[in-house]
Amino acid sequence: MQALLSFDQAPPLDAPLRFFLTAPLFAVFAGLLLLWGGPDIFASRWTPDALALTHLITAGFMLQAMLGALFQLLPVVAGANMPRPRLVAGIVHALLTAGTLLLVVGFLRFESQWFRLAVLFLGAGTGLFIAAAAGALRGIPSASPTIRGLKLSLAGLAVTVGFGLLLAASLGWAFDLPLARLTDIHLGWGLVAWGCALLAAVGYVVVPMFQLTPSYPLWFGRAFSFAAPAVAFAWTLAELLEWQILGTVLAALVVLTAAGFAGITLHLQWRSKRARLDVTQVYWRVAMVSALVAAALWLAAMLLPALAEWPGWPLLFAVLLLHGGFMSVIVGMFYKIVPFLVWLHLQNAGRGRLMAPNMKKVLAEKSMEGQMRAHFATLALLVAAVIWPAWLIYPAGFALVLANAWLLRNLFSALGVYRDHLARIAALEVPGEGGPTGGM
The string of DSSP codes covering 340-357 is: HHHHHHHHHHHTTSSPPP
Whole-angstrom distance, CA of residue 402 vs CA of residue 378 = 9
Whole-angstrom distance, CA of residue 345 vs CA of residue 71 = 15
229 closest CA partner among 164, 325, 126, 157: 157
What mean pLDDT is reported for the chain?
92
What is the reported pLDDT for 344?
A: 86
Q: Is the pLDDT of residue 180 over 70?
A: yes
What is the reported pLDDT for 221?
A: 87
What is the reported pLDDT for 170?
A: 96
Q: Is the pLDDT of residue 434 over 50?
A: no
What is the percent of the chain where pLDDT is above 90? 78
Q: Is the pLDDT of residue 5 over 90?
A: no
pLDDT digits (tens, 9 = 90+) for 264-317: 999 999 998 887 889 999 999 999 999 999 999 999 999 999 999 999 999 999
For residues 155, 158, 164, 169, the Cα torsion angle rounded to the nearest 10 degrees is: -150
Q: Output the 3-class SS for 119-167.
A: HHHHHHHHHHHHHHHHHHHCCCCCCCHHHHHHHHHHHHHHHHHHHHHHH
Q: Given pLDDT bands bounded at 50, 70 and 90, which one contains residue 407?
A: very high
Whole-angstrom distance, CA of residue 135 vs CA of residue 16 = 18
Q: In the chain, what is the straight-line distance between the N-terminal and C-terminal CA atoms, in Å?
A: 34
What is the reported pLDDT for 277?
A: 87
Q: Are 150 and 74 in contact, with CB atoms under 8 Å apart?
A: yes
Whole-angstrom distance, CA of residue 11 vs CA of residue 3 = 18
Cα 361–Cα 366–Cα 372 angle in degrees, nearest 5: 120
What is the average per-residue pLDDT within 328-351? 90
Question: What CATH class does 7-423 carry?
Answer: mainly alpha
Q: Is the pLDDT of residue 36 over 60?
A: yes
What is the average per-residue pLDDT within 67-76? 92
The full set of domain ranges for the chain reads 7-423
pTM, rounded to two decimals: 0.93
Q: Is the pLDDT of residue 201 over 50?
A: yes
Q: Is the pLDDT of residue 430 over 60?
A: no
